[in-house]
A and B are shown apart, each in its own frame.
Chain A
Amino acid sequence: MMATKILDLPDTSYVLPGNRSCAGCGIGIALRQITAALEGKMVMTVPASCLTVLGGMYPISSVNVPWVNVAFPSTAAAASGIAAGLRAMGRADDMTVLAMAGDGGTGDIGIQALSGAAERNEDFLYLCYDNEAYMNTGTQRSGLTPAGARTTTTWAGKRENPKDLPAIMEAHNIPYVASTSAAYPTDVYDKVVKARGIEGLRYIHMNTPCPSGWGFDPKDTVRLGKMAVDAGLVVLYEVEDGVFRLTGRSASLAKAGKPLLPVGEYVATQSRFKGMSAETIAAVQAWVDTRWARYLARNAGSCLP
């Protein structure tokens, strides 16, 4: 499949002008591409999260697609139920079921329901927008918050590296797993288009810069999202039927063989990393380097996952 160019993205938008998300929120950028890639033939299900806020308060909605709000831990089970209900009603062929939740809603409180749905290979697309903490409740740490980040429950900086959620999903042997970034709308679009055409549980993990939670100017959302990819903290890839390949900017970086942007330069751009020690930065750099080497090896097909 040829990569879509930015000027070729559809003009039709299912996200209405104006919503309740914060200025510079990465979700709003990506949601346009996600819904456009599904051509609005979809029902989305959303737990308590920033996305709920973006969606609007009754009776006003900011998104022009069917949207079912559900309880925090239940997203993947709700998507399973919606998919089963649509099959039972003979309506499954018309619609993609899209489950969309944040990193906490996916990797922490929602992981049980998601793991169950993945093991059953339920027929829906799950997209985790990873803004790296509980942003909707005021920036508390999640299991996907990076080491060194200050949150309102890690005042001295989080000590642990984030859990590798796409790898956990890959271990469920589902047909499609991808990692993308809201800073690359075409990468998001192409992955959702591809996922749409696959049957079974499709998982897309989307890094999503958050100006208020990370501490940067809202105009820099895309710039910082791209920096995270250049630094190897976020890697764009997909695993289709077990076959791994780097995509987009990550594939270009691998091809060029250039060193990654140092972690120190990336963390210097955000106030959440203020006061991060040289030791912690070095530890994160070592973690990134090891991961990147593993991705390069997988991309070259030189080792088993």
Chain B
Amino acid sequence: MGFDVVEKRRISKSYRIKEIDSQLIYYRTREEAKLISEARKNGVSVPIIFDVDQEKGIIIMEYLKGKRIKDIFNKIGEEERANICKKIGISIGRLHKNNLIHGDITTSNMIYQEGKIHFIDFGLGEINSEIEAKGVDLHVLMEAIESAHSKFSNFFKYVLDGYKSEYMEEAGSVIKKIDEIVKRGRYR
């Protein structure tokens, strides 16, 4: 098939004690591999996984040649940006419909390749059916857009449009939850 592969290795951080370090590495590697395969099954673009070693914290996966959304987001035209946001929303809706929580949805963790948006870095994710978890997941992206793409923070609404179209059942309650999470934060 001729795939380029990449080895993702979680490295030990010497600032944290062994007990925390090894547990985080093991758990995140396992969750990431699991969530990526689940996402693929449910039609979300993600890299193909070839091998996993939880003890060593290694995942061998397909190398994506595209560009990070973060790097193109501020440069593209209005229409394309809105379009990309909608696609992002549809993918997140698909994840959430299947109770897959990404945990770190930022524009750094999406690769744009051949018109498709691939999601990477599921290490902080989990499988969770609660509205709260889904709300927090979207809230992370909202903040990421506000801080890294502040001029275009109003584009988050297109993400929600895509999300609603894909996940009609619960999108309303999740979006309501985002407001609640914002208000729960300090100085809101």
Partners in one complex: no
A residues at B contact (CB < 8 Å)? none
**Which of B's residues lie within 8 Å of A, judged by CB?**
none
